[in-house]
Amino acid sequence: MEEEGRKLLAEGIKKKLTSPGKGDLSTFPNGTKVVFHYRTSLCEGTVLDDSRTMGGRSKPMELILGKKFKLAVWERLVITMREGEVAEFTCDTKHTALYPLVSQSLRNISVGKDPLEGQRHCCGIAQIHSHHSLGHKDLDHLQANPQPLVFTIELLEVLPPGSFQLDVWAMTDEEKLSFVPQIHEEGNKLFKEGHISEARDKYYNGIACLKNLQIKEQPGDENWLKLDQMITTLLLNYCQCLLLEGQYYEVIEHCSSLLFKYENNVKALYKRAKAHAAVWNETEARADFAKLLELDPSLGPSVAKELKTMEERIRSKQKEEKGRYKDLFNYNTPPATATTG
């Protein structure tokens, strides 16, 4: 233990044991999966990230050792720990320079966004020396002012190679590409069974997987276009789940993005029209439904049904508002009574 502590100090890492773990220290061969909670703080105590609260939920971090994770120091820290151990590590700036980018990706994931959203098609070091905002003031400040950080880690689980299924992010490009049809099929099966949120997660993972591959291609090239078509199919399925979950504004955003590239995509137009109707955007909904009929007249009965439903909702809302205003202005105020002293 003391020898390991001296090694860490020589590397610019100070370890403080908070709670000892159990069992023997693993040998941590490459391919080992480690599951842990983390809290990242500045040395003066300000908390930047906490996996127990990030995105409004508690979700531990998972790493596959030997996969060259962007923040290499995390691998160095966990291999000094036993299962169940809690320790605090103060790491020199040389180990933390890439943390702002890692944090941005983790924050994106925690709220259901693309982990690569906002990151340029260049290496992490190039991004650090650019003036590109990460979308978070604390991360922008940290990127402009690199400094030591404190990582408080609780090692929850150590899984030896071969004892678990690889997560998408840990796969090679070839493994990802062959895995997408499987995850697509699993999502479809869950959707048909009525497990909408689970299906949504499957589609999201497939989209993230494909986008990770697409960012390595030149926009507009043959491979980029093939991947984009695959993304479009999954994104439409994802939007169908969001529609059923009432996430209408997100549906509008995603479908508008698709229609910017593929303006005659009937499925994207139909989903956006329904989402507009659901949030009382009558003008936009009517415009989308009208274009739908131009593109595919066979959808006439379906469009008529959707328009009828929208119009009934609008009439009901207007009637409700009329009654509310009537109650507001048509009340009897008791006359003032004059009194004498």
User: Crossing angle of helices 282-295/300-329, nearest 10°?
Assistant: 170
The DSSP H or E segment spanning 87 is strand 86-91
Total residue length of the chain: 341
Phi, psi dihedrals of residue 148, rounded to the nearest 5°: -60, 150
Q: Which amino acid is at 210?
A: L
Residue 195's pLDDT is: 97
Whether the pTM exceeds 0.75: the reply is: no
Residue 29's pLDDT is: 94
Domain boundaries, the chain: 1-116+135-159, 173-322
* 3-state SS assignment for residue 340: coil
Q: Which residue has the higher pLDDT, 216 or 94?
A: 94
Superfamily of domain 173-322: Tetratricopeptide repeat domain (1.25.40.10)
Ramachandran region of residue 23, left (φ > 0), alpha (ψ -120 to 50) or beta?
left
Whether the CB-CB separation of 112 and 203 falls below 8 Å is answered with no
What digits encode the pLDDT tens for the residues 56-102? 888 899 999 988 888 999 999 999 999 999 999 999 999 999 999 99
Rounded to an integer, what distance in angstroms lies between the CA atom of residue 83 and that of residue 86? 9
Residue 330's pLDDT is: 59
Residue 67 CA: distances (Å) to CA of 75, 172, 240: 10, 10, 34
Mean predicted lDDT score pLDDT of the chain: 88
Q: DSSP string spanning 260-284?
A: HH-TT-HHHHHHHHHHHHHTT-HHH
Domain 1-116+135-159 class?
alpha beta
